[in-house]
Every structure is written in C-alpha cells, then in structure tokens.
C-alpha cells in the first residue's frame, strides 16, 4: 500500500500505535527509541510501546507512505550510526489531520450525549 491516489480519510480510523507514532514525530524526526520515549511521555506513561510493536508498526507506516526514513543524521559523535531516523511525510500529516478531526467529532458527540443524559438513570452522564 502507498499514498499514491489515496485519500487520507481512507486510512482513518488509525490504529492506536500508528496514531501515537505520528504524534511523536509531529515535532521532528526521531529514532525508534526516542519515539518510544516520546509516546510514554505524551501519555504520562499510560502507553508503553515495545520494540516489536514499534518496528512492526513503522514497517507498515513506511509501506503506506505515512513516514519515511531520513538520511539526515546528528553529529556522529553524539549519535550511534546504526540508528535509523524517521519523519512524517506530507501524506502522513494529512492522515494525522483527518484522524484528529475524526476524534474531535467523536469527543463532541460524546460530550453532547453525556450532557443530554444528565440526571436520567441508565443514561450516560446521569448522576
């Protein structure tokens, strides 16, 4: 699968791991271990991503055109040359935007339903 001719909406809803990785890369390229740390930081430790999940998901995201490996490297004295760095593609940004819009609509619907059910037994939002 690749981005050629695809609408970002065709890939949403995103699997949770892909969503977290796109968010982790939204502010710049990172290597795998840095992605894992950023996901844990963003979720206050509620989500921990192991190497199997991370690298399996990265492989699928590379194939889908959501992220790409970059050749740009930090100073070799500050980095391990074996590390691979990843960044979000333009298509990945559009998919992340579509997923963010979808989740915002979902939250708005949940809040509306919770408010409508306030005070009614057996209804979400009831007290």
18 occurs within a structural domain: yes
Tens digits of residue pLDDT in 43-102: 999 999 999 999 999 999 999 999 999 987 665 555 666 789 999 999 999 999 999 999
Q: How many domains does the chain have?
A: 1
Residue 6 lies in a domain: no
pLDDT for the residue numbered 71: 81
The 3-class SS string of 19-63 reads HHHHHHHCCCCEEHHHHHHHHHHHCCCCCCCCHHHHHHHHHHHHH
Q: Bigger pLDDT: 115 or 39?
A: 39
pTM, two decimal places: 0.82
Residue 71 within any structural domain of the chain: yes
Give the CATH number of the domain where residue 54 resides. Answer: 1.10.10.10
Q: Is the pLDDT of residue 1 over 60?
A: no
Evaluate whether residue 124 is within a structural domain.
Answer: no
**Residue range(s) defining the domain that contains residue 41:** 11-116
């Amino acid at each position: 699968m690749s981005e050629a001719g695809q609408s970002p909406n065709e890939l949403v809803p995103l699997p949770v791991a892909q969503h977290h990785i796109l968010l982790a890369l939204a502010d710049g390229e990172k290597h795998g271990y840095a992605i894992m740390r950023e996901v844990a930081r963003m979720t206050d430790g509620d989500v921990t991503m192991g190497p199997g999940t991370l690298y399996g998901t990265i492989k699928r995201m590379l194939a889908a055109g959501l992220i790409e490996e970059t050749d740009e490297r930090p100073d070799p004295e500050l980095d391990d040359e074996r590390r691979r760095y990843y960044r979000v593609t333009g298509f990945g940004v559009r998919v992340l935007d579509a997923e963010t819009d979808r989740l915002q609509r979902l939250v708005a619907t949940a809040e509306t339903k919770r408010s409508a059910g306030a005070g009614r037994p057996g209804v979400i939002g009831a007290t």
